[in-house]
Amino acid sequence: MFDKLLRKKTTAVPSTLQERLTIAKEKPMPTHVAIIMDGNGRWAKQRKLPRIAGHHEGMKTVRRTTLFANELGIRVLTLYAFSTENWKRPKREIDFLMKLPGEFLSTYLPELVENNVKVEMIGSAELLPIHTKEAIQKAMEATAHNDGMILNFAMNYGSRFEIAEAVKKLASQLSENTIHLDDLTEETVSGAMMTSHLPDPDLLIRTSGEVRLSNFMLWQLAYAELAFTDVLWPDFNEASMLGVIEDYQKRSRRFGSLEGDEIK
């Protein structure tokens, strides 16, 4: 008797990316998405190409993902471009990686400006080569007055270092009596981090099948939904991103309605 109704509910209807996009945009979107862009080396190896070819292809995925995140209405996109651990890599690979911000920006900065994207950075700029620092500085200045999506690059970033620096900052304020012991709260700790002006990420994505946080935004990710996909970063595209967002929307809907006995 309820056959037709049931079938309607259970049969997967093929829908185009465009249709899925329209539906996703009507649902709650994560405000801040953070991504660990893993799998560039493996992508290159599969093609018998040098690792740097994977990094270069990964840079193109950064552009695509930025434009798509902007289209989705995501407000902050944080990308883990270079970790404090990455200094252990061969010098030639590091030299190549450090040229990517300059190449990325000389190619795509006009497009970022057209799309009202604001470029920001977390991490310590000090150890970066001068040409890398200058490229990022120029992009930050050129986009400083944009009020659309924030494209936040984590460069020479490590979460434990960030936390240690925040502790130092607060300890020095304590010793100078500009704050009191009772002022050490979750809010003041958040306020001492490099992300003090940003909301915490609602969603973390890691590509390439590794299921680890690798010293990335440990404090800020306390309540984030975690999404791990086997797709290698250079292969990550609009369909992959939309799939992750659809999963997030299913999960956060369950959480919002407190269907079960979920813990936030």
Interatomic CA distance for residues 129 and 106, integer angstroms: 17
Minimum distance, C-beta of residue 240 to ligand V07, in the bound complex (Å): 14
Minimum distance, C-beta of residue 226 to ligand V07, in the bound complex (Å): 19
* Cβ atoms of 165 and 87 closer than 8 Å: no
> Which residues are near ligand V07 by CB under 6 A?
37, 40, 55, 58-59, 62, 81-82, 97, 100-101, 104-105, 119, 136, 139, 153, 155, 233
State phi, psi for 165 to the nearest 5 degrees. -65, -40
**Cβ proximity to ligand V07, 139 vs 149, nearer residue:** 139
Write the DSSP assignment of 21-47 as a string of letters. Answer: HHHHHTSPPPSEEEEE---HHHHHHHT
Minimum distance, C-beta of residue 92 to ligand V07, in the bound complex (Å): 14
Residue with the shortest CB distance to ligand V07:
58
**Cβ proximity to ligand V07, 55 vs 118, nearer residue:** 55
Residue of 70, 86, 116, 182 marked catalytic: 86
Residue type, 241: M
Tokens of 218: 């440990």
**Cβ proximity to ligand V07, 161 vs 255, nearer residue:** 161
92's enclosing H/E stretch is helix 91-114
Neighbour order of strands in the sheet with 225-228: 118-122, 150-157, 76-83, 32-36, 203-206, 225-228
Whether 86 is a known active-site residue: answer yes
**Cβ proximity to ligand V07, 119 vs 198, nearer residue:** 119
Whether 38 is a known active-site residue: answer yes
Active-site annotation, residues = 38, 86
